[in-house]
Amino acid sequence: MIRYAGDFVHSLPGLAGTSREPNVQPCLTDPAVYEKVLKKVRSTLKSHPKATIISVSQNDSYADGLGCQCENCRAIDEREGTPMGSLLTFVNKIADAIKDEYPNVYVDTLAYRYTRKAPKTVKPADNVIIRLCSIECCFSHDLDSDCPQNEEFKRDIEDWAKISKNLFVWDYTTDFLYYIIPFPNLKVLYDNVRFFVDHNVTGLFEQGNYQSVSGEFGELRAYMLAKIMWNPDMSERQYERIMDDFLEGYYGAGWQYIKEYINKTSELSAGSHMGIYDSVKQNLSLEGKDILGVIGELEALWRSALEAADEEHYANVERSSLQIRYAKLLLLWDDDTSPAELEELYGLLKKYNITRFREGVSVPEDPYFTTPLAEWR
Ligand SMILES: [Zn+2]
Ligand SMILES: [Zn+2]
C-alpha cells in the first residue's frame, strides 16, 4: 500500500522554507537549502512511520517558469541540457542520504513544466520516482498519434523510460478552465493509458475535477479510468462495451442518445487540438462551423435522453446535460438571451450542487453569469 508523507505535492517550498508563489524555486546547489530540506524530510518521515513515498518536488510553475538561475545551478543545467539536471542531482542526494534509514521509502519528484525533459547523464536513483506530467499535451489526439503538440512529450517519456526504474505519470483528464464544458477525451483515455503502460509507467495519477460535483462526464470518466487502469490489456471493443454498460445503468433508457453525443463530440474534437485550459469552441473544433446548428444537434440528443429517462435516471441525465447548456451559453450568449434562460441554468447548477467552475474559482453568486460571460469565454 502506498502512503504519502507530507501534505502537498509541490513540496520544496515547505521543505526549504521558501516562497510558495508559483515560479519561485529554491536554489538547489546551496548547501544550506540541502541541509534544511534533508532535516525536514527526516522529521516528516519520522512522524509518518508508515509512509512509502515522500515528495521532494519543485514548487508550482507556469509555462514560462524557470529554475534557480544562479551560476552553480545553471552550470549543471547547461551540462545536462535541462533544468532537471540540478533538480534531479539534488533529489538523488536526498534519496541517497535516507536510503539506509528508510529502505522502503521512495523520493518522488515531478518532471513538470520546465523540468519535464530528462537529463543527459544524471539518472534517477533506484529509490527515486519520476512523476512525469502531461500538462502541456493535446488530448483530442492520443499521445502516440502524430499530433505535433504531443511530439515533445513523447520524446520525453521515451527518454525517461530508458533511465528510470520508477516512472509515474501525472495525467490531466478534464478541462481546468471550466470543469463543466465538454472535454471529449473518453476515447483518447483508452489509448493514453495503454501508451503509459507501454512506456514502463508503473504509477498513474489521473487528475480530473476534484473539487465539485460534475456537470459533465466526471462519473463516467472516473469509471472508465478505473476499468482501463485495472486492465490495460482490454481491447477497444471491451472498453466500448464497458462504457455502454455504464451509460445504460447510469442514464437509463435514453443512453444511446448520450453515446451518440459522445461519438459526435469526439469526432468534432479530433478536428483540432485540445489542451486542458481550452475554450468550448476549441474543444469542439467549432471555428468556421455553423455553431448554432452543431449545438442544436447536440442539445437535441440530450433532450431525447431526458424524454426517455424514468424517475430513477432523470437527475443523472439532467446533471450531465449541463455541459451542453453551459457550452451554449458561452458560445451563443448575446444581449438578447432571455434572463429566464440564464436563471434556469443557474438554478440547475444550484440544484445539483455544482460549486466550482474551475480550480480556485467558485460558481459566482449571480444568476446572470456577468463575470464569466464578460471575461471567461
Ligand atoms: Zn542556484
Ligand atoms: Zn492534437
116 contacts 85 by C-beta, under 8 angstroms: no
| Per-domain boundaries in the chain | 4-222, 242-375
What is the tens place of the pLDDT at every residue in 46-83? 999 999 999 999 999 999 999 999 999 999 999 999 99
- Backbone phi and psi for residue 295, each to the nearest 5 degrees, phi listed first: -65, -40
CA of 129 to the centre of ligand 2 (A): 28
How many angstroms is it from 136 CA to the middle of ligand 1?
Answer: 26
DSSP for residue 49 = T
**Number of other CB atoms surrounding residue 124 within 10 Å:** 24
0.85 exceeded by the pTM? yes
Using the mean position of ligand 2's atoms as its centre, give its distance from the Cα of residue 174 in Å: 15
User: Can you read off the three cell numbers belonging to residue 295?
Assistant: 449545438
Distance from the alpha carbon of residue 283 to the mean position of ligand 2, in angstroms: 11
Tell which CATH classification among 3.30.310, 2.40.128, 3.20.20, 2.40.160 matches the domain 4-222.
Answer: 3.20.20
Distance between CA atoms of 339 and 337, rounded to whole angstroms?
6
Cβ count within 10 A of residue 222: 15
Q: Is 67 left (phi over 0), alpha (psi -120 to 50) or beta?
A: beta
Residue 205, pLDDT above cutoff 80: yes
| Cα 125 to averaged position of ligand 2 atoms, centre (Å) | 34
Q: How far is the CA of 150 from the centre of ligand 2 (A)?
A: 7
142 Cα–ligand 2 center, Å: 8
Instruction: Please identify every residue whose CB atom is under 5 Å from ligand 1, which is an ion.
Output: 27, 29, 68, 70, 73
Sequence letter at residue 226: A
Among all chains, which residue has been given the C-alpha cell 498513474?
204
List pLDDT tens digits, range 220-242.
999 999 999 999 999 999 999 99
Could you tell me the end-to-end alpha-carbon distance of the chain, in angstroms, rounded to an integer? 43
